[in-house]
């Protein structure tokens, strides 16, 4: 920790492969975004790992895991899960970091560790056909990282609870902190008001590469039912590459399909949309819900623990089961009460401002860095007594 213009500064060392087999996935994007935290708070700096060998090893492990999951290829014992990795001590020292953030390397003992990990969704793993031995192995890895880290962070309370269950005595070191998303800037109050001033035409939006898993068939069924009751009032834009298989699309003049869209285009679609409909069968998180809420749109999500947290139990969005009947009922209920739609959208927009904005998340990350340092010092003092 150093002093910069009278402000205490903490520097994080963040492992980030210099090349990645799955660019633009959540991990890749998250590491790409993290260095921008200094734009949103004073006193927090990020050093991205530069050593090549750990990157190479990580990508080999990732390739092996992909082959194992897709083809059933045996996973060699040497290719342990990523959180069991070893860092380049030279690179860590060169970084002049105060805290390791993101991983819990086995060979770092002179710095506090904040392990940022994912939840253990045991039932979801079983539903995907994951063998019990693999579930047990992943739980064992998670437990080891919990025990050797000063703090453990996850992106939701539901996820944090799944890790707390692994080792109840470690509950005090487990935290939830939202994703740091620098582009998650809430629309202005005037822009939200302008969007909802005229609802004679309601713009619906679906965004998701895996259209089947993310609930497009149910969205289409709901859209067709609603279009019959409200002719001429609805438009649906679908943005998807249909990565998990084709979805039959009805021929309707008010249905538009876009195969791929960049960040700027999606942001513009969010600003136009009144309702984002993505009732996924399973969703580990769902940045798109936050992006819709920030744009003043109503987010419709699957009724699952993490999405319940994002949408404040349904007071800041719509929670539904991912069936044709449930999604249709949820959409028709919204459309039948237009006077309540804007209030719901505004609650979601306000929730982004209070909980998920990059300023809020960056400040929380900084405080976690200071807390990890204090815990590390206290543990060292205890060990010396």
Tell me the CATH number at 81. 3.40.50
- Residues 335 and 377 placed together within one structural domain of the fold: no
pLDDT band at 104 (very low <50, low <70, confident <90, very high): confident
Query: What pTM did the predictor assign?
Result: 0.85
Neighbours of 44 (CB within 10 A): 23
pLDDT in tens, 221-274: 999 999 999 999 999 999 999 999 999 999 999 999 998 888 889 999 999 999
Which residues lie below 8 Å from residue 305, measured CB to CB, with a gap of 6+?
A: 156, 158
Lowest mean pLDDT among 42-46, 48-52, 145-149, 272-276: 48-52
CATH of the domain at 346: 3.40.50.2000
- Residues 345 and 362 placed together within one structural domain of the fold: no
- Domain that residue 281 falls in: 189-356
Asked if residue 207 lies in contact with residue 288, where contact means CB atoms within 8 angstroms, the answer is yes
- Residues 155 and 24 placed together within one structural domain of the fold: yes
Domain count, the chain: 2
Q: Max Cα separation, the chain?
A: 76
- Residues 194 and 264 placed together within one structural domain of the fold: yes
pLDDT of residue 67: 76
73 has a pLDDT exceeding 80: no
- Residues 238 and 345 placed together within one structural domain of the fold: yes
Residue found by looking up tokens 């009144």 in the block = 274
Asked if residue 298 lies in contact with residue 274, where contact means CB atoms within 8 angstroms, the answer is yes
Top pLDDT among 158 and 370 is at: 370
What is the mean pLDDT of the segment spanning 150-176? 93
Neighbours of 370 (CB within 10 A): 16
- Residues 205 and 326 placed together within one structural domain of the fold: yes
pLDDT band at 91 (very low <50, low <70, confident <90, very high): very high
pLDDT of residue 20: 64
């Amino acid at each position: 920790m150093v002093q910069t213009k009278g402000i205490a500064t903490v520097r994080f060392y963040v492992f980030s492969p210099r090349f990645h087999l799955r660019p633009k996935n959540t991990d890749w994007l998250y590491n790409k975004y993290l260095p921008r935290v200094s734009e949103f708070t004073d006193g927090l700096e990020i050093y991205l790992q530069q050593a090549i060998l750990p990157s190479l090893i990580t990508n080999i492990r990732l390739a092996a895991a992909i082959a194992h999951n897709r083809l059933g290829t045996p996973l060699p014992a040497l290719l342990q899960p990523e959180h069991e990795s070893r860092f380049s001590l030279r690179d860590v020292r060169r970084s002049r970091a105060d805290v390791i953030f993101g991983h819990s390397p086995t060979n770092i003992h002179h710095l506090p560790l904040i392990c940022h990990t994912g939840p253990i969704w045991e039932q979801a793993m079983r539903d995907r056909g994951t063998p019990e031995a693999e579930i047990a192995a992943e739980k064992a890895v998670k437990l080891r990282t919990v025990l050797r880290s000063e703090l453990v962070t996850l992106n939701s309370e539901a996820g944090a609870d799944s890790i707390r269950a692994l080792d109840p005595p470690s509950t005090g070191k487990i935290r939830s902190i939202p994703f740091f998303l620098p582009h998650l800037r809430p629309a202005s109050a005037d822009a939200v008001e302008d969007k909802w001033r005229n609802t004679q035409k309601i713009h619906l939006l679906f965004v998701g590469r895996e259209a089947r898993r993310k609930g497009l068939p149910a969205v289409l069924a709901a859209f067709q039912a609603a279009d019959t009751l409200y002719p001429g009032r609805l438009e649906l834009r679908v943005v998807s590459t249909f990565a998990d298989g084709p979805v039959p699309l009805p021929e309707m003049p008010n249905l538009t399909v876009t195969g791929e869209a960049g960040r700027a285009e999606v942001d513009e679609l969010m600003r136009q949309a009144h309702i984002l409909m993505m009732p996924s069968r399973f969703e580990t998180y769902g940045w798109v819900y936050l992006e819709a809420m920030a744009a003043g749109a109503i987010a419709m999500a699957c009724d699952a623990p993490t999405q319940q947290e994002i949408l404040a139990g349904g007071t800041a969005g719509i929670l539904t089961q991912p069936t044709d009947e449930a999604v249709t009922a949820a959409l028709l209920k919204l459309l039948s009460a237009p006077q309540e739609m804007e209030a719901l959208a505004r609650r979601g927009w306000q929730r982004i401002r209070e909980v998920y904005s990059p300023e809020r998340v960056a400040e929380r990350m900084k405080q976690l860095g200071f807390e990890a340092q204090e815990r590390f010092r206290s543990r060292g003092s205890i060990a010396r007594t």
